[in-house]
Structure 1
Amino acid sequence: MGIRLVPVVLLALLVALHAQLWLGRGSLPQVAAMQQKIEAQKAANAQVRQANERLASEVHDLKEGLDMVEEKARSELGMVKQGEVYVQFTPR
């Protein structure tokens, strides 16, 4: 009886280990899902980082000179300098 018990115990341990690998906490499917989430978060972080850099550059330009202020006034508000004529051209 002792000789037959060892293979049964070893087989039970093997089944338990495989169950943990495929179904338990930290299983292969969970790890793959977490890796996908990490990649998605990295992409979102890169987009936000790029937007932050653009805004930081804009703030720097606004602090350093009036060129950016003039450009914003012209593009967003349609302002012109004294003596200038504004002509809007719409391509077909």
Structure 2
Amino acid sequence: MRMFQLILLCLAGYIQYKLWLGHNGIQDYVHIKHAVIEHKETNTQLQKRNRLLKADIDDLKLGLEGVEERARHELGLIKKDETFIRVLPAKQP
């Protein structure tokens, strides 16, 4: 009877070890759960970026107004017969 109890105790200890520390145990589950959360956050950010890029593409496809706006903003484009005025902030004493 004593040997049977010892075998059951060893078996219970082995099962607990596998559950908490073994392959596909609780530690692996927690690690994978955190990885999934991080990937969902990354996917959300990438989806926002993709929507913005798609809007830019649609603007560029619609006409030259989008191209002109982008050139003015990013490249400092000035049209012929336009006057460029630069306003500087007042100096702080």
Q: Distance in 1 between matches of 2:89 and 2:12?
A: 73
Question: Equivalent residue for 2:47?
Answer: 49
Q: Distance in 2 between matches of 1:26 and 1:12?
A: 21
TM-score, with length taken from structure 2: 0.83
* Matched AA of 1:69: V
After TM superposition, the structure 1 = structure 2 runs for residues 71-82 of structure 1, keeping only pairs within 5 Å, are: 71-82=69-80
Question: Equivalent residue for 1:34?
Answer: 32
Deviation at 1:39, TM superposition (A): 1.4
Question: Equivalent residue for 1:88?
Answer: 86
* Matched AA of 1:87: I
Deviation at 1:90, TM superposition (A): 2.9
Q: Distance in 1 between matches of 2:41 and 2:86?
A: 39
The reply to whether residue 68 of structure 1 matches residue 66 of structure 2 is yes
Question: Equivalent residue for 1:13?
Answer: 11
Deviation at 1:58, TM superposition (A): 0.5
TM-score, with length taken from structure 1: 0.83
Q: Which runs of 5+ in 2 are unaligned?
A: none
Q: Which runs of 5+ in 1 are unaligned?
A: none
Deviation at 1:83, TM superposition (A): 2.5
* Matched AA of 1:13: L
Deviation sequence 1:5-32 (CA, Å, 0-9, x none): 3222221111011010121001212211
Deviation at 1:71, TM superposition (A): 0.4
Q: How many residues in Structure 1 have an aligned counterpart in Structure 2?
A: 90
| Superposition RMSD in Å | 1.5
